[in-house]
Structure 1
Amino acid sequence: MNIKHSVDLIESYLDLDRKPVGIKFFFDKDEFDNFEVPQRDRKVTYCNSVQLASKGNSMKLTKENQGCPNGAMALKMKEVPEPMASGKARFSKNIYHDVETSKSISDEMLFLKEEPAGIAVMPLENYKENPDVVVVVSSPYNVMRMIQGHGYFNGYTSNLRTVGLQAVCQDLTTYPYNTKDINITLLCPGTRLVADWQADEIGIGIPFEKWYEIVEGVKETANPFERDKKKEGIEKRLEERGLDTSGIKFNENYDDGSYTGGKIEINK
């Protein structure tokens, strides 16, 4: 499997409205400068750069491009000020019950440990070399399927952590980068404002080391988990991309024969 094939597969097995986004950190300035993607010519919040990439845009960013102080802190492009580190800043805005709770949030967030020379943010399919993290923002259903794909090889997902703040920069990017494990987010009010995500969208962040196995896991679990209506869409999207459809099996699911009483009838 390569990057292009993996994107073709995931976009076939999941009905995605947005492109998977690849994030690459550069710690060598020459390498960053030589990466053939235009640098953003003005400021942008990091989460909005991800949103733009999910719609097909590619860009490089430095600290001068950062339009959000919290995103810049997560990316080690701005130092964490004492009021934020101590918990006083968020406590003063009544986000948490007390300073201790607020401080615990700052303590548990995992930011970059080394300042990068720059970052590339672009559709995963555009990469010729491996990025560091893949971000997918989509429906809860599609994120569920990716969790199931992860579980196919890795079992129970016990590490998920989110608190409704710094959702794209920390939950989906620096946390997976540091832990080499997946994470999900329900997003946060800030990114929903500046990046204009849909109300029913959530996200999953995946270290690239796990990307191919998750794609394979989504493919392998399609027959047990997807219903026939979804399988029809999968089959059509595979055909459109010239991919093999022989593995799709209709009229079979993991829970066949498990339920009694039938589906609930709802009178509208």
Structure 2
Amino acid sequence: MDIKLSVDIIESYLDLDRKPVGVKFFFDKDEFKKFDVPQRDRKVTYCNSVQLASKGKSMKLTKENQACPNGAMALKMREIPEPMASGKARFSKNIYHDIEISKSISDSMLFLKEEPVGYAVMPLDDYEEAPHVVIVVSSPYNIMRMIQGHAYFNGYTSNLRTCGLQAVCQDLTTYPYNTKDINITLLCPGTRLVANWKINEIGIGIPFEKWYEVVEGVKETANPFERNNMKEGIVERLKERGLDASVIRFNENYDDGSYSGGKIEIKE
């Protein structure tokens, strides 16, 4: 499997409204300069750059492009001020019950440890070489399917951590980058404002080291987990991309014969 094929597969097995996004950090000036993607000519929040990439836009960014102080902190492009590190800043805005809880949030977040020269944010299938992190923002259903794909090879997902804050920069990027494990986010009010995510979207961040197995896991679990109406869409998208649709089996699910009594109809 290569990057392009992996995107074809995931876009066939999941009905995605957005493209998977790849994020690549550069710690060498020459490597960053040679990376053949235009650098943005103005500021943008990190999460907005991810949103733009999910719609097909590619860009390189440096410290000078950072429009969000919290995103810049996560990416080690801004020092963490004492009020934020101590918990005073968020406590003063009544985000948390007391300063200890506020500080525990700051202490739990995993940011980049080394400042990058810059980074690229692009649709995943625009990469010729592996990025560091893959981000998918989509419906809860599709994120569920990716969790199931991860579980196919890795078992129970016990490390997920989120608090509705610094959702794209920390939850989906620096946390997976540091832990080499997946994470999800329900997003946060800040990114929902500046990146204009849909109200029913959530996200998953995947270190590239795990990307191919998540894709393969989604593919392998399609027959037991997807219902016939969803399988019809999968078959159609597989055929559109010239991929093998004969692997999809209808009238077959993991819970066949498990339930009794039928659905309870609720009158509105």
- TM (norm. structure 2) is 1.00
> What does residue 26 of structure 1 align with?
26
- Equivalent AA in structure 2 for residue 106 of structure 1: S
**Helix, strand or coil for the counterpart of 1:11?**
helix
- Equivalent AA in structure 1 for residue 195 of structure 2: A
> What does residue 244 of structure 1 align with?
244
What is the distance in 2 between the residues matched to 1:9 and 1:262?
34
What is the distance in 2 between the residues matched to 1:263 and 1:111?
46
What is the distance in 2 between the residues matched to 1:179 and 1:207?
8
Matches within 5 A, 1:171-250: 171-250=171-250
Q: Alpha-carbon deviation of 1:76?
A: 0.2
Q: Alpha-carbon deviation of 1:263?
A: 1.4
Matches within 5 A, 1:84-163: 84-163=84-163
> What does residue 73 of structure 1 align with?
73
Question: CA offsets per residue over residues 110-142 of structure 1, 9 Å max, x none?
Answer: 000000000000000000000000000000000
What is the distance in 2 between the residues matched to 1:98 and 1:63?
33
What is the distance in 1 between the residues matched to 2:27 and 2:163?
29
What is the distance in 2 between the residues matched to 1:136 and 1:76?
23
Question: CA offsets per residue over residues 233-262 of structure 1, 9 Å max, x none?
Answer: 000000000000111000000000000011
Q: Alpha-carbon deviation of 1:265?
A: 1.2
What is the distance in 2 between the residues matched to 1:239 and 1:245?
6
Q: Alpha-carbon deviation of 1:264?
A: 1.9
- Equivalent AA in structure 1 for residue 17 of structure 2: D
What is the distance in 2 between the residues matched to 1:17 and 1:81?
37
Question: CA offsets per residue over residues 32-69 of structure 1, 9 Å max, x none?
Answer: 00000000000000000000000000000000000000
What is the distance in 2 between the residues matched to 1:261 and 1:23?
48
What is the distance in 1 between the residues matched to 2:168 and 2:134?
11
Question: CA offsets per residue over residues 169-208 of structure 1, 9 Å max, x none?
Answer: 0000000000000000000000000000000000000000
What is the distance in 2 between the residues matched to 1:163 and 1:267?
36
What is the distance in 1 between the residues matched to 2:120 and 2:263?
47
**Helix, strand or coil for the counterpart of 2:60?**
strand
**Helix, strand or coil for the counterpart of 2:25?**
strand
**Helix, strand or coil for the counterpart of 1:212?**
helix
Count of paired positions: 268
Q: Alpha-carbon deviation of 1:267?
A: 2.2
- Equivalent AA in structure 1 for residue 63 of structure 2: K
The percentage of counterpart residues that share the same residue type is: 84
What is the distance in 2 between the residues matched to 1:55 and 1:245?
27
RMSD: 0.4
- TM (norm. structure 1) is 1.00
- Which structure 2 segments of 5+ residues have no match? none
What is the distance in 2 between the residues matched to 1:199 and 1:246?
35
Q: Alpha-carbon deviation of 1:147?
A: 0.1
- Which structure 1 segments of 5+ residues have no match? none
- Equivalent AA in structure 2 for residue 180 of structure 1: K
- Equivalent AA in structure 1 for residue 98 of structure 2: D
What is the distance in 2 between the residues matched to 1:75 and 1:183?
17
- Equivalent AA in structure 2 for residue 41 of structure 1: D
What is the distance in 1 between the residues matched to 2:111 and 2:166?
10
> What does residue 14 of structure 1 align with?
14
Question: CA offsets per residue over residues 153-181 of structure 1, 9 Å max, x none?
Answer: 00000000000000000000000000000
Matches within 5 A, 1:54-69: 54-69=54-69
